[in-house]
A and B are shown apart, each in its own frame.
Chain A
Amino acid sequence: MNHLLRHLAPISDSGWELLDDEARERLGPSLAARRLVDFDGPRGWRHSATNLGRSGEVEPPADGVSAAQRRVLPLVELRAEFTVSRAELADNDRGAVDADLESLDDAAQRIAIAENVAVFHGWAKAGIIGIAEASPVKARPLGDGAEGYPRSVANAVEALREVGVEGPYGLALGPDEYTRVIETAEHGGYPLFDHLAKILEGPIVWAPGVKGAVVLSLRGGDFLYESGQDLAIGYSHHDAETVHLYLEESFSFVVATPEAAAPLGS
């Protein structure tokens, strides 16, 4: 038993298997940040803060001493609530293979987007600075037409190399930009996707929540995602017809090397 209170839900073992499998299947493709940044943890639900290794001045409690206070980054909690019909769960127990889990699918998309936005664009009220906003690298805008993408991405890679940031490099693309890339073939029929992958020497990632694109180094040590509770399904309450559940996680994110990424605006 833990804080997720799953044992209190009126859900059978096969029902939990159905929900967990569906959540994993839906979350996997959308969790773009986890494909590109360093992941540390999970350190558990009780883990509350990331050590920043810094301190700030604080007025001492008495004369004759100096004082400092450690600075930490508190972990944030994200929760996306959803419901499941008890009738659907009962049908699953009977062997049905087409359970309606739309509410879970929506929740998975919401929490994945929130995680991506926090990592790539920041979350000021939670003290998280995103990769794109932290970067001092001035790169060429991505532009509206996919034909200009190779030049923009190559320009971004070059900008990173110029400041001493080695590859391989990854590319996080917003959904519209990603669609343009996979739809486009260059002169001679060469797929744009393959051309970009060759420039980057690394992955191109579909990143819902990302505006435009971000090129970043994958050498490690630059972008640090710290997981407390990794994504999990917990139980809230139920009535005769519906079970109320949620997807939840806790994490922090720190940009250690701002110049290791180059944002590309739309």
Chain B
Amino acid sequence: MGFDQYHEPPEELSPETRTFARMCASLTEEAEAIGWYEQRLAIEQDADAKAIMSDAQGEEFKHFAMDLEFLLRRTPRWKQICEGVLFQDGDIVEHGEAAEAASEDGDSDDESTGAADGSLGIGSLRGEER
């Protein structure tokens, strides 16, 4: 596959952006694999083979979730929009539009706090010196 996850010359990209691009590529691959297993499972007749493929698809679900969490932790606005859409009842498109609008409203706050929820981003202080 070479280095085709990069859309721009890699040498011009920072290490953080290259990692981000790799993880985006990984996320895409996990989603593709989930789709492939879904198709195989739909037509497979052998119960043992089906059980193995189902187990393998579960692995891909996990990989996808880990890739996504990594990317969201490094992208506050993406995380903020996801928080407005994921695991919510109701109309998905409405939630998406509202979450996107809210993220635009909150842009100026985010710049000063560095935390998507408007907090000071203090969190745990374990391991820090007094």
Give the residues in chain B near A29, CB-CB below 8 Å.
130
B122 touches A34 (CB 8 A): yes
A230 touches B105 (CB 8 A): no
Give the residues in chain A near B124, CB-CB below 8 Å.
34, 39
What's the tally of chain B residues with a CB closer than 8 Å to chain A? 23
A126 within 8 A of B: no
A20 within 8 A of B: yes
Q: Which of B67-90 contact A (CB under 8 A)?
A: 83
Give the residues in chain A near B128, CB-CB below 8 Å.
28, 35
A232 touches B125 (CB 8 A): no
A6 within 8 A of B: yes
Could you give, for residues 89-113 of chain B, a 1 whenever the CB lies within 8 Å of some chain A CB and a 0 otherwise?
0000000000000100110110111
B117 within 8 A of A: yes
B106 touches A2 (CB 8 A): yes
* Main SS class of interface, A: mixed
A6 touches B109 (CB 8 A): yes
Give the residues in chain A near B7, CB-CB below 8 Å.
none
Interface size class of A (residues with CB under 8 A): 35 or more
Could you give, for residues 1-30 of chain B, a 1 whenever the CB lies within 8 Å of some chain A CB and a 0 otherwise?
000000000000000000000000000000
| Contact (A1, B120) CB under 8 Å given A35-B128, A230-B115 | no
B117 touches A2 (CB 8 A): yes
B117 touches A229 (CB 8 A): yes
* Cα-based distance from A233 to B105 in the complex (angstroms): 17
* Cα-based distance from A4 to B120 in the complex (angstroms): 12
Minimal Cβ-Cβ distance residue in B for A234: B118
* Cα-based distance from A92 to B124 in the complex (angstroms): 30
B106 touches A230 (CB 8 A): no
B118 touches A6 (CB 8 A): yes
A233 touches B120 (CB 8 A): yes
A191 within 8 A of B: no
* Cα-based distance from A233 to B108 in the complex (angstroms): 14
B102 touches A24 (CB 8 A): no
A98 within 8 A of B: no
* Cα-based distance from A153 to B126 in the complex (angstroms): 21
A227 within 8 A of B: yes
* Cα-based distance from A204 to B118 in the complex (angstroms): 31
* Cα-based distance from A150 to B111 in the complex (angstroms): 47
Minimal Cβ-Cβ distance residue in A for B108: A13
Could you give, for residues 29-49 of chain A, a 1 whenever the CB lies within 8 Å of some chain B CB and a 0 otherwise?
101001110010110110000
Residues of chain B touching chain A, judged by Cβ–Cβ distance below 8 Å, are 83, 102, 105-106, 108-109, 111-113, 115, 117-126, 128-130
Q: List 26 A-B contacts (CB under 8 A).
A: A2-B106, A2-B117, A4-B118, A7-B109, A13-B108, A16-B108, A16-B109, A20-B113, A28-B122, A28-B125, A31-B122, A31-B125, A34-B124, A35-B130, A36-B126, A39-B123, A39-B124, A39-B125, A42-B119, A44-B83, A45-B117, A203-B130, A204-B130, A227-B123, A230-B121, A230-B122
The 9 A-B pairs at the shortest CB distance, nearest first, are namely: A39-B124, A232-B119, A16-B112, A230-B119, A34-B125, A1-B105, A17-B112, A35-B125, A4-B118
